[in-house]
Amino acid sequence: MNFNILNHDVRNVANGALDEVRRSVAGKRKLSAKSNKTAVPVGRVSGTVLTVLGSIGSSMFLIASMVTGTIGYKLGISVMYSITAFVLLPCFVGSTVLLANGSIIRKRLKRFRRYVEQTHGLSYFMIKDFSSAAGRSSKYIVKDLRKMIAVGMFPEGHIDDKETYFMLDDESYELYLRSQENMRMREKEETLRQKQEQKDKFNKKDTMEPEIRKAINEGRQYVQKIKNANIEIPGEEISRKLDRLEEVTGKIYDYVESRPEKFPEIKKFTEYFLPTTLKLLDAYRQFDNQPVKGENISTAKKEIEDTMDTINLAFENLLDDLFRDAAMDVSTDISVLETMLAQEGLSQKNIK
């Protein structure tokens, strides 16, 4: 039983959760009235005002501080120092702060316009795409978007739990939450189903005879050894033959495991043919690992390679023989069916 059914759903939760969002916004290419409402250029006026006031104030108070300080120094008037230290310099610092805040707001507004342009009218976008466009890390973009949400630039903005998508309106976010909840429910149901299957499998009694079970387990080990030998032996031709050997041998044991009554037909195969084949593979592997390959080694390897064709053919015939009874049953059923159809006048040759 394959317990990887959730791989597709849980590989990317955000992608699955936004399927409904994609469908709801398909075909949009320009910002609608609603999109405009969810993207407000907050700070356009305040950024300019703070920049202008800060620039004028910092220049004015810096010059005034320098002039007042110079006059106080030249004339020896101590009150001038007090005016400079407690009035003009604090005003200069305050103006500088205004200038810095105005610059921050204007830069944020510039990034905001870039984000809006990159959405192409959709109600959501991938944060990594804007990370590439802005030349900033995804972590920076997430932090920047959260700040814009806080100041009201995206009044309905939401970032998903994985910090993969940014949704511009409440409707898209509601669809995301609904889809994510459905996904969690499906995952929970699948987990419960897997646990129940494991429990049923554990509680199911193995009615197969111990001798047959042991032989099948040993056969599975033989198949694994063939696979290991195939990995270690680099030759392309021998590898192709070992691929076929592994496939046919595995199918033989699969069939006998489902029909234990067929085990007597493969007993010699399990006890002699397969172990002898593995001995040949071990010998081939030893020959292949020799640093110097003389005539005897090359001849022995060639004989083993040729023998593998015979072994594969024999094992394929054995697998075919296992299906003999099933094929005969099918032929019998067909004959009976054709006879009954003819008796009822329903066969093709009796239809006028």
Model confidence, pTM: 0.41
In sequence order, what DSSP letters do the residues of 248-262 get, joined into one string?
HHHHHHHHHHH-GGG
For 258-292, the pLDDT digits (tens) are: 888 888 888 888 888 889 998 998 888 888 888 77
**Which stretch of 17-26, 114-123, 130-139, 339-348 has the lowest confidence by average pLDDT?**
17-26
Q: How do beta strands 158-159 and 165-167 pair?
A: antiparallel
Q: Which amino acid is at 331?
A: S
Grade residue 23 by pLDDT with cuts at 50, 70 and 90. very low
φ and ψ at residue 158, rounded to 5 degrees: -145, 145
Cα distance between residue 136 and residue 276, in whole Å:
64
Cα distance between residue 1 and residue 197, in whole Å:
9
**Widest CA span of the chain, in angstroms?**
135
Beta-strand (E) ranges in 234-277? none
Cα distance between residue 80 and residue 65, in whole Å:
9
Cα distance between residue 64 and residue 76, in whole Å:
17
Structure tokens at 88: 């003009």
Q: Which amino acid is at 22?
A: R
Cβ proximity of 230 and 246 under 8 Å: yes
Taking the domains of the chain in order of start, what are their residue ranges?
7-176, 210-324
Cα distance between residue 47 and residue 104, in whole Å:
8
φ and ψ at residue 166, rounded to 5 degrees: -120, 125
Q: Which CATH architecture has domain 210-324?
A: Up-down Bundle (1.20)
CA Rg value for the chain: 40
Structure tokens at 125: 């976008």
* Most trustworthy range by pLDDT among 44-48, 91-95, 119-123: 91-95
Structure tokens at 47: 């950024």
The pLDDT of residue 177 is above 80: yes
